[in-house]
């Protein structure tokens, strides 16, 4: 049976009804346009005969462009979304819009402080609306149409976004701008530290989390008083376009942000000409390094992650550990920047059935419920070529997977691979000719598994030291001395430690971002927002009276 979009839609509709029933929630409009903010009439009816359209926003107006970028349905290859694609000759309104924003921002602690309250109110309203069953279902379905993942994964993205907005309701936005004071050297002198906006800024985000990543970074920029121009990968930008319309519905001023759809070359030209004070980029390391040079370092990055997991010597809860390994490596078809790329397994785990259990869990994933699906940036040819190169390493072997998905209509421009794991001996992995190959990130359902002996932890730590990307990591052990050794000798910015450690799952309640790079960005927390979207400004008041009988001193 070939899985096509209408059949998938019907299956997903039945699945959604189950989830609503189990949660004792009722939704009157599972597919229909739920509120006035939406320009998408019915998510399941987006098709070649009835394509959705995505516009741009600049200087408070929604506009089109001279040409359309046609997006293919990742499940059947049908042209189903038309994106108004801005070309290099059409960027002037976006350049002018950013240029009109002063360096001191749209608000700061000394200018228009009521806007901190405005954004607390906007966040509160948006959180309430996004938490409504119909609206959350609308966005989850829309995410599934453009970045296919299971309904549970898509809905979790919406829920995290809603919780983030709740976190920054009321007074929480102005608390981000909290200042401090230090007594001076004499009466009337005090130094005050303030968080200050950058003013005009840019945000560039990828396809894999069409709502969560751009929304959290966008709101962080707005909270601190910046004016952002936002570019989301055009394959999925319809999700954020609808979210911006929801924010306008909740009171976000139309002129506070711009939204552009364009290719990378056009966006690069816009950044050079508009010269934003800061740019946030989430995506590949190659593009990140180019932008860092082009923008003279005025950039924060959350780039690629070859993320590792170490299983410690204490073997326990085998079923749970296997399930987390499967989720970390293969949920969202491995298209998470935090996905488990390599598993270091202590020899004590080799005597268990862990690998066979991971294999069994991986093999139950299927296209009908999108627990496995299209890979939007890596083709089968690239993934299988990489696998074949790995299998030439002495002692390597294919543990499972390694074959294309069958009976589907996924277009060949996208990948469609069974969950795959390749075993590489640790000793071979450490050889200079192999290390770079083994640690190459494949943004799909692909992982490396290796084993280390009880006296080889130092070799594992050396392997981690050689890696270039330090986003997430997991140390699966309840042995405090083992945890201490590994954590003390590694650097990953978001590291989970303990028996229940994972590499994926970026909720709104803790920092998520890389470490070891001064350009590193975070997301989700007050600390992340202040680091990425504001700088420190010190104002020293010195208003005290002069001492009696003060006279001009000698020159020094």
Active-site annotation, residues: 302, 337
Question: Cβ distance 413 to 379 under 8 Å?
Answer: yes
Q: Would you call 210 helix, strand, or coil by DSSP?
A: coil
Measure the CA–CA gap between 345 and 342, rounded to whole angstroms.
10
Token match 């906006």: residue? 197
- H-helix or E-strand spanning residue 330: helix 318-330
> Which letter does DSSP use for residue 197 in this model?
-
> Could you tell me the end-to-end alpha-carbon distance of the chain, in angstroms, rounded to an integer?
89
Q: Would you call 112 helix, strand, or coil by DSSP?
A: coil
Measure the CA–CA gap between 279 and 204, rounded to whole angstroms.
8
Query: Structure tokens of 174?
Result: 């102005």
Alpha-carbon separation of residue 348 from 310, 372, 458, 460, 532 (angstroms): 12, 30, 17, 15, 42
- The residue count of the chain comes to 556
Strands 52-54 and 307-311: unpaired
Alpha-carbon separation of residue 402 from 138, 462, 515 (angstroms): 35, 29, 32
Question: Cβ distance 235 to 71 under 8 Å?
Answer: yes
What is the phi/psi pair of residue 378, to 5°?
A: -135, 125
């Amino acid at each position: 049976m070939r899985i096509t979009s209408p059949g998938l839609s019907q299956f997903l509709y039945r699945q959604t009804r189950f989830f609503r029933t189990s949660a004792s929630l009722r939704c009157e409009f599972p597919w229909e346009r739920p509120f006035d903010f939406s320009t998408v009439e019915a998510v399941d009816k987006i098709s070649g005969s009835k394509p959705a359209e995505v516009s741009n926003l600049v200087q408070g107006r929604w506009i089109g462009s001279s040409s359309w970028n046609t997006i293919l349905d990742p499940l059947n290859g049908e042209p189903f979304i038309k994106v108004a694609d801005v070309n290099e000759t059409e960027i002037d309104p976006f350049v002018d819009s950013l240029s009109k924003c002063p360096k001191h921002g749209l608000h700061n602690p000394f200018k228009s402080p009521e806007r901190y309250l405005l954004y607390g109110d906007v966040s509160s309203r948006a959180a309430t609306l996004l938490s409504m069953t119909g609206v959350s279902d609308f966005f989850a379905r829309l995410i599934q149409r453009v970045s296919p993942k299971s309904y549970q994964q898509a809905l979790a993205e919406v829920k995290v976004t809603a919780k983030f907005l709740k976190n920054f309701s009321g007074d929480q936005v102005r608390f981000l701008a909290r200042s401090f004071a230090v007594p001076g050297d004499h009466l009337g002198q005090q130094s005050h530290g303030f968080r200050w906006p950058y003013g005009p800024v840019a945000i560039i985000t990828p396809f894999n989390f069409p709502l969560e990543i751009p929304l959290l970074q966008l709101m962080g920029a707005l909270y601190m008083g910046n004016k952002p121009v936002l570019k989301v990968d055009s394959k999925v930008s319809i999700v954020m376009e609808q979210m911006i319309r929801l924010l306008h519905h909740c009171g976000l001023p139309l002129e506070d942000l711009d939204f552009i759809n364009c290719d990378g070359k056009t966006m690069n030209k816009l950044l050079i000409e508009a010269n934003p004070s800061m740019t946030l980029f989430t995506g590949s390391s190659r593009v990140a390094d180019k932008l860092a040079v082009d923008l003279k370092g005025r950039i924060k990055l959350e780039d690629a992650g070859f993320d590792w997991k170490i299983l410690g010597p204490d073997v326990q809860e085998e079923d749970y550990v296997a399930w987390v390994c499967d989720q970390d490596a293969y949920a969202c078809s491995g298209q998470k920047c935090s996905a488990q790329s390599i598993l270091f397994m202590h020899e004590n785990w080799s005597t268990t059935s862990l690998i066979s259990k991971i294999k069994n869990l991986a093999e139950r994933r299927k296209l009908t419920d999108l627990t496995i699906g299209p890979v939007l940036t890596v083709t089968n040819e690239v993934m299988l070529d990489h696998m074949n190169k790995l299998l030439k390493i002495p002692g390597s072997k294919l543990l499972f997977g390694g074959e294309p998905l069958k009976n589907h209509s996924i277009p060949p421009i996208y990948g469609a691979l069974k969950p795959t794991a390749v075993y590489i001996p640790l000793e071979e992995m450490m050889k200079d000719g192999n290390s770079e190959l083994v640690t190459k990130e494949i943004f799909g359902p692909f992982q490396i598994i290796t084993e280390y002996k009880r006296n080889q932890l130092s070799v594992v730590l050396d392997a981690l030291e050689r890696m270039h990307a330090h986003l997430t990591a997991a140390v699966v052990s309840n042995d405090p001395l083992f945890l201490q050794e590994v954590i003390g000798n590694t650097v990953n910015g978001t590291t989970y430690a303990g028996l229940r450690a994972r590499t994926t799952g970026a909720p709104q309640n803790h920092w998520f971002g890389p470490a070891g790079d001064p350009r590193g960005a975070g997301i989700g927390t007050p600390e992340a927002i202040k680091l990425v979207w504001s700088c420190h400004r010190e104002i020293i008041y010195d208003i005290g009276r002069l001492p009696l009988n003060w006279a001009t001193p000698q020159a020094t």
